Amino acid sequence: MINEKLKLNDVITIEIKKTGINGEGIGYYEKLAVFVDDTLPGEIVDVKITEIYDTRIVGQIEDIKVKSPDRLEVLYPDYALCGAYGMQHVTYKKALELKRDVIVNALNRYVKQKIKYSLIKPTVGMEEPFGYRNKVSLPIRKIGGLNKVGLYKTGGTEFIPVNDTPVQHPKINEMLQYLETLLDEYKFDAYIQKEKSGYIKSIVMRRSYSTGETQLSFLLMKKYDKISEVVSKLVEKYPEIVSVFAYYTDNYKEQIFFTTQYEKIFGKDTINEKMNNQTFSLYPEAFWQLNTQMADKFYSKMVELAKPTKEDIVIDAYAGIAPVSHYFYKEVEKVYAIEVDQRSIQSAKLSLKRNNIKNVDIMQSDFFKALKQLGDKKIDIIVFDPPRTGLGYQTIKEVLKFMPRKIVYGSCNPSTLAKDLEELLKYYDLKEIVPMDMFPYTPLVESVTLLELKKA
């Protein structure tokens, strides 16, 4: 076997042929796939081998012999390591092309039938692809005696301070930096993993793109009065902070941001975000897309592709706080919005009421179970927007009992999209896939797909 000839730390020279699902370059060494971070198609690279498996090798750049014309200088190497700003080595224009290629590659890999690639449209991106991130969820750790917000190196345990990435909203960066200084000033002890000590574990900061209202959620190991003083200082400087919660945990190990034990320590329960002339009320844990400007394009594309009619009954599956329902309700007879998470449901109910929407029924349920509950109801269109795990065979089997005329599939994972399409395309024709760049300068690839029930 080829890989028996290779040893760790050997250096091989390969040409990068394509981009993988995590943004890495993929080349081949005598037919064995070689995965190398931060490389681009067309580049000739000396690669030091760091991992060897039966079917693939992982390596790191030793030297780039031929550089891609689309390569950019990496200005924040640490932020590439923790995925916060992982595609900074490539021009935005090229990144949009590569994201479409990732979808094409996933379809090639998982879908047996021949796909007309002209159905996969160019990636819809942003005009100004910086400062778009409206929320950060960051652990806080004590490093060299100072409190730092940051992230862990992808797949590792090394903590990397992260408080000024160009993809986060500049106001979020500013507030994070001020928070760090306050935590030091008030002698806070951030969590230290090795010693299992410290009492502040993480911060979630969400800033409404449209109103600027900002919500903070601290995760604490115990009640600690000084948090109120820190919050007062923050609010004094940033009056747009209008909602602050403290969550409590006694679990040192688990990497979580929210628990069921919480209290509001300042201001309102929710912050308001505006989109499509509607107001959405966000509780801290409620799901909301991280890029509000692109979210608007994402939902508008769903309606544009579905072309719903006034008689249609629609399912908004994996609804979150039901933005899809908010975009569809006017065009159709009725929408069932199905979501499992209680706080998203609370936000959805508040938002639908606030926007005076009466033809959306909310179902708090696992999607699979909800389909069983809906029994033999007529469903014309199903809009999916599942987590990265996709739908899976069992759920698709249940969906197929309804045989909706159209399916609109919002996906955040090209691999699970392709696997699900392999099943769905037995009964549906693929009409269009529109890649959407919801996370510029990261490897994440989102898309909206339209399927229509086969005629026969």
Ligand X SMILES: C[S@@+](CC[C@H](N)C(=O)[O-])C[C@H]1O[C@@H](n2cnc3c(N)ncnc32)[C@H](O)[C@@H]1O
- Residues flagged as binding site for S-adenosyl-L-methionine: 289, 318, 339, 385
Catalytic residue among 80, 371, 412, 451: 412
Residues 220 and 242: their CA atoms lie apart, in Å, by 20
Q: Is 82 assigned a catalytic role?
A: no
**Shortest separation between residue 347's beta carbon and ligand X, angstroms:** 10
**Shortest separation between residue 257's beta carbon and ligand X, angstroms:** 14
Does position 344 interact with ligand X (CB under 6 A)? The reply is yes
| Position closest to ligand X via CB | 320
Q: Which residues contact 61 (CB under 8 A, 6 or more apart)?
A: 36, 37, 38, 39, 45, 46, 47, 48
Nearer to ligand X, 85 or 288 (CB): 288
Does position 318 interact with ligand X (CB under 6 A)? The reply is yes
Does position 258 interact with ligand X (CB under 6 A)? The reply is no
Nearer to ligand X, 88 or 292 (CB): 292
**Token pair for residue 343?**
């706080």
Q: Is residue 332 classed as helix, strand or coil in its secondary structure?
A: coil
* Interface segment toward ligand X; rule CB under 6 A; list 4-12, 29-37, 219-227, 313-321: 313-321
Site string for ligand X, 275-304 (x = CB under 6 A): ------------xxx---------------
Burial class of residue 196 (count of CB atoms within 10 Å of its CB; 0-12, 13-18, 19+) = exposed
Does position 348 interact with ligand X (CB under 6 A)? The reply is no
* Interface segment toward ligand X; rule CB under 6 A; list 102-110, 257-265, 338-346, 429-437: 338-346
Binders in 397-456 for ligand X, by CB under 6 A: 412
Nearer to ligand X, 42 or 392 (CB): 392
Does position 338 interact with ligand X (CB under 6 A)? The reply is yes
Does position 273 interact with ligand X (CB under 6 A)? The reply is no
**Shortest separation between residue 401's beta carbon and ligand X, angstroms:** 17
Does position 25 interact with ligand X (CB under 6 A)? The reply is no
CA dihedral (95, 96, 101, 103) positive or negative: positive
Question: In this chain, which of 320, 404, 435, 440 binds ligand X, going by CB under 6 A?
Answer: 320
Binders in 365-384 for ligand X, by CB under 6 A: 366-367
Longest Cα–Cα distance of the chain, Å, equals 71
Does position 324 interact with ligand X (CB under 6 A)? The reply is yes
Q: Rg for the chain (alpha carbons), in Å?
A: 23
Does position 134 interact with ligand X (CB under 6 A)? The reply is no
- Binding-site residues, please? 289, 318, 339, 385
CA dihedral (286, 289, 290, 296) positive or negative: negative
Burial class of residue 152 (count of CB atoms within 10 Å of its CB; 0-12, 13-18, 19+) = middle
For residue 392, how many C-alpha atoms fall within 13 Å in the half-sphere facing its CB? 8
Q: Is residue 35 classed as helix, strand or coil in its secondary structure?
A: strand
Does position 270 interact with ligand X (CB under 6 A)? The reply is no
Nearer to ligand X, 154 or 365 (CB): 365
Nearer to ligand X, 241 or 338 (CB): 338
Q: Which residues contact 429 (CB under 8 A, 6 or more apart)?
A: 451, 452, 453, 454
Nearer to ligand X, 18 or 326 (CB): 326
Site string for ligand X, 222-241 (x = CB under 6 A): --------------------
Does position 387 interact with ligand X (CB under 6 A)? The reply is yes
- Tell me, what DSSP letter sits at residue 117? G
Reported in sequence order, the residue ranges of 366-427 that DSSP labels E, i.e. its strands, are 381-384, 406-411
| Nearest to 179, CA basis, from 202, 160, 207 | 202
Residues 451 and 44: their CA atoms lie apart, in Å, by 39
| Nearest to 266, CA basis, from 214, 222, 220 | 214
Nearer to ligand X, 40 or 290 (CB): 290
Measure the CA angle with vertex 306, ends 303 and 307; round to 5°.
85
> Which chain residues interact with ligand X by CB under 6 A?
287-289, 318-320, 323-324, 338-341, 344, 366-367, 385, 387, 412
Query: Annotated catalytic sites, by residue?
Result: 412
